[in-house]
Structure 1
Amino acid sequence: TIGDIGNAIERYISSQGFSVIRDLCGHGIGTRLHQDPQVLNYGKRHSGPKLKRGMVVCPEPMASLGDYRIVKGKDGFTYKTKDNSLAVHFEHTVALTEKGAEVLTTI
Structure 2
Amino acid sequence: MTARGSFAQMTAAVTELTIYYVNGEEESFKIPIDPQQFQSQLGKMLQKPWLVFHLIDQTVIISTSNVVKMDIKPPLNQIQGEGIFANCERVTSMQRGARGRFPVSE
Shared fold (TM-score, shorter chain, > 0.5): no
Structure with the larger helix share: 2
For normalisation by structure 2, the TM-score amounts to 0.26
| Larger-Rg structure | 2
